[in-house]
């Protein structure tokens, strides 16, 4: 069980790594992880391990990436790892043990085993979900300005984002609400920015399938669990 904990620090997407002191791959940087306990599922286990070993309690989101199982991904022993993506809001600065440190995802140090691949997959998952879910809540502080949020998106996505359109998209989807407060302007002046927060702080898919979408039912458009067992008329007008 391995966790790629990502956070935007100093405008850069970084990952928490741990420097191995023993062979194999001594000296290289590895993802934190541990073994599954008897009375927990894998998600709970990851959260527990992060809280215990790394003192990261403000993990706002945890999700499975994939199982990594190449036969010799770790020398000598057979180890199958379930990899996770964990996110920490940008205003948290958790105390980490002395042998751990944050590293920019774009400029990884020498990493152990297949951990670089895991980190890339975690980053890609984050980038994809920023686009069609409200996952931004997991990167941002509880309260923030649009330009601060824009910087987080830029750092996570690796490309420019327009503050104008970011606000409109998130507002249209009702993910963002103004708190009413405003932030103080910088030393060089400028209009004070309005403060916002995310309406939810749990993952919500906002933009499922952009294409081949179901025809708009008159009332509800939900995709229930069991539907359309009949094979005759394919159109599911209720």
Question: Which of 66, 108, 194, 203 is close enough to bind DNA by CB under 7 A?
Answer: 194
Tell me the backbone φ, ψ of residue 37, rounded to 5 degrees. Answer: -85, 175
CB atoms within 10 A of CB 50: 25
Chain positions contacting its own copies, by CB under 8 A: 10-12, 36, 38-42, 45, 64, 66-67, 69-71, 78, 80, 82, 104, 106-107, 120, 127-128, 130-132, 151, 153-155, 157-161, 166, 169, 207-215, 223, 225-229, 231, 234-236
Given DNA, its own copies, none, residue 98, with its beta carbon under 5 to 8 Å by kind, binds none
Given DNA, its own copies, none, residue 216, with its beta carbon under 5 to 8 Å by kind, binds DNA
Tokens 């989807």 map to which residue? 173
Tokens 């229930």 map to which residue? 224
- Which residues touch 5 (CB under 8 Å, ≥6 apart)? 15, 16, 32, 50, 54, 56, 59, 86, 87, 88
Binding mask 197-226 for DNA (x = CB under 7 A): ----------x--xxxx-xx----------
Which CB sits closer to DNA, 108 or 163? 163
The single-letter DSSP state of residue 136 is G
Which CB sits closer to DNA, 93 or 209? 209
Residue 51 · residue 29 · CB < 8 Å: no
Residue 42 · residue 82 · CB < 8 Å: yes
Closest contact distance (angstroms) between CB of 216 and DNA is 6
Pairing status of strand 144-145 against strand 194-198: antiparallel
Closest contact distance (angstroms) between CB of 10 and DNA is 18
What part of residues 115-174 is at the interface with DNA (CB under 7 A)? 145-147, 162-165, 167-169, 172-173
Closest contact distance (angstroms) between CB of 24 and its own copies is 18
Stretch of 4-12, 20-28, 104-112, 177-185 lying at the interface with DNA (CB under 7 A): 177-185
CB atoms within 10 A of CB 218: 7
Instruction: Assign 230 to helix, strand or coil.
Output: coil
């Amino acid at each position: 069980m391995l966790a790629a904990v990502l956070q935007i620090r100093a405008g850069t997407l970084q990952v928490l790594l741990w420097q191995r002191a023993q062979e194999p791959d001594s000296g290289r940087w590895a993802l934190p992880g541990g073994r599954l306990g008897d009375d927990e599922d894998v998600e709970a286990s990851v959260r527990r391990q992060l809280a215990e070993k790394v003192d990261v309690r403000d993990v706002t989101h945890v999700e499975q990436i994939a199982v990594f199982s190449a036969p010799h991904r770790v020398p000598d022993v057979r180890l199958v790892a379930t990899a996770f993506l964990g996110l920490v809001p940008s205003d948290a600065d958790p105390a980490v043990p002395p042998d751990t440190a944050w590293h920019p995802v774009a400029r990884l140090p020498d990493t152990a085993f297949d951990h670089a691949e895991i980190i890339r997959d975690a980053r890609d998952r984050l980038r994809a979900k920023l686009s069609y879910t409200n996952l931004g809540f997991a990167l941002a502080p509880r309260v923030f300005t649009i330009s601060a949020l824009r910087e987080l998106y830029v750092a996570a996505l690796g490309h420019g984002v327009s503050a104008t359109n970011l606000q409109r998209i998130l507002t249209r989807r009702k993910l963002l609400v103004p708190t009413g407060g405003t932030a103080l302007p910088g030393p060089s002046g400028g209009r004070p920015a309005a403060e916002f927060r995310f309406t939810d702080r749990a993952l919500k898919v906002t933009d499922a399938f952009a294409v081949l979408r179901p025809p708009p039912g008159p009332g509800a458009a939900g995709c229930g669990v069991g539907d359309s067992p009949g094979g005759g008329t394919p159109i599911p007008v209720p």
